[in-house]
């Protein structure tokens, strides 16, 4: 039986894909593990609205009831949001076990990419990718997102890597895996809450059409994923020095409580939320919506380019 036998694609998404219309994949760990209920449900609906407003069809992806669900909406979306941290957090290694057990799970960047590719979706919007954790020289804690980007032909639009990570090492691993790191309207790699990280992207592209042209060629060459770094809007950004103090405190708290592995990122995000009095969540929502807008614009441009090619 093929992997596609486990897919459940909503009617709207299936029709859009069949017609060659633009579709944007959206992950679900940001719903289950990224922020509390009911903010997570409101955010998920708002992000879908942003995708629609810019001409594309949203496809929220999750694992539910023993299926790889593409286009989660309505009561199922609310069920996912209410489940929150009680849901599993699914990366590539977890998928078969979760399907076998019929467990509900939010999908990480890696798993969302994998499921999106199975469904035939080329564009995916998220908040920030996972990466190399600080202290990885001892812990070897490196997100599966980075390897997935090297192997799976999906373009990921994000606000860079989360500031809680070692961004220099994250970029080194992306280079090792052959992942092009593009800056959308920037030459500087963003750091989630901050617009710059002190590191450069590989190439800068300034319009959705230019990015779409590159993605079409990447596909023609049968290469892997592409990372498109889109800085958080200036009005919602933090100075890198300001957020660094909160991150340092959160890292110390995680170490003191013995938080490790896949529990690290959700703990750090929640702790930073507490330390900033909720302002980090406001910025998080703003950057996700901004990424959804750019992803939809790129999806529309890519769809138009592919449609104009000779049969």
162 is an active site residue: yes
The confidence score (pLDDT) of residue 311 equals 67
Scanning 179-278, the segments in alpha helix (DSSP H) are: 208-220, 240-256, 264-275
Residues annotated within a binding site for Mn(2+) = 141
Question: One of 14, 27, 83, 289 is an active-site residue; which one?
Answer: 27
Report d(CA 68, CA 15) in Å as an integer. Answer: 18
Strands 181-184 and 226-229: what pairing? parallel
**What pLDDT is attached to residue 74?**
95
Q: What pLDDT is attached to residue 173?
A: 97
**Residue 236 pLDDT:** 94
Q: Are 228 and 156 in contact (CB under 8 A)?
A: yes
CATH 3.40.1790.10 fits 3-307, yes or no: yes
Please compute the mean of the pLDDT values over residues 128-140 and round it to a whole number.
83
Mean pLDDT confidence for 77-98 = 95
CA distance linking residue 2 with residue 91, whole number of Å:
19
Domain ranges of the chain: 3-307
What confidence tens digit (pLDDT) does each residue in 178-217 have?
A: 999 999 999 999 999 999 999 999 999 999 999 999 999 9
| Residues contributing to the annotated binding site | 89, 109, 141, 143-145
Task: Write out the binding residues for substrate.
Answer: 89, 109, 143-145
Q: Are 230 and 291 in contact (CB under 8 A)?
A: yes
27 is catalytic: yes
Q: How much of the chain, in percent, has pLDDT values that exceed 70?
A: 99
Catalytic residue among 14, 148, 162, 169: 162
């Amino acid at each position: 039986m093929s992997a596609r036998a486990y897919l459940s694609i909503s009617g709207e998404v299936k029709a859009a894909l069949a017609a060659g219309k633009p579709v944007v994949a959206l992950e679900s760990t940001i719903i289950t593990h990224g922020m509390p209920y009911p903010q997570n449900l409101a955010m998920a609906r708002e992000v879908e609205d942003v995708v629609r407003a810019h001409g594309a069809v949203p496809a929220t992806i999750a694992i539910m009831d023993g299926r790889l669900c593409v286009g989660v909406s309505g009561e199922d979306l609310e069920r996912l949001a209410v489940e929150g941290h009680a849901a599993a957090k699914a990366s590539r290694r977890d998928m078969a076990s979760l399907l076998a057990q019929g467990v509900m799970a939010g999908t990480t960047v890696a798993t969302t990419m994998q499921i999106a590719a199975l469904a035939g979706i080329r564009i995916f919007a998220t908040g920030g990718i996972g990466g190399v954790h600080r202290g990885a020289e001892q812990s070897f804690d490196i997100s599966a997102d980075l390897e997935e980007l090297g192997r799976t032909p999906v373009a990921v639009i994000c606000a860079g890597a989360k500031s809680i990570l070692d961004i220099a090492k994250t970029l080194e691993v992306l280079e090792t895996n052959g992942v092009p790191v593009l800056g959308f309207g920037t030459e500087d790699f963003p750091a989630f809450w901050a617009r710059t990280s002190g590191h450069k992207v590989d190439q800068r592209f300034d319009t959705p059409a230019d990015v779409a042209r590159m993605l079409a060629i990447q596909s023609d060459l049968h290469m892997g994923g592409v990372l498109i770094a889109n800085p958080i809007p200036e009005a919602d950004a933090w100075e890198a020095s300001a957020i660094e103090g909160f991150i340092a405190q959160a890292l110390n708290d995680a170490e003191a409580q013995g938080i490790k592995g896949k529990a690290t990122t959700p703990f750090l995000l929640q702790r930073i939320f507490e330390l900033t009095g909720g302002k980090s969540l406001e910025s998080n929502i703003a950057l996700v919506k901004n990424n959804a807008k750019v992803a939809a614009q790129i999806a529309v441009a890519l769809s138009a380019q592919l449609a104009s090619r000779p049969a």
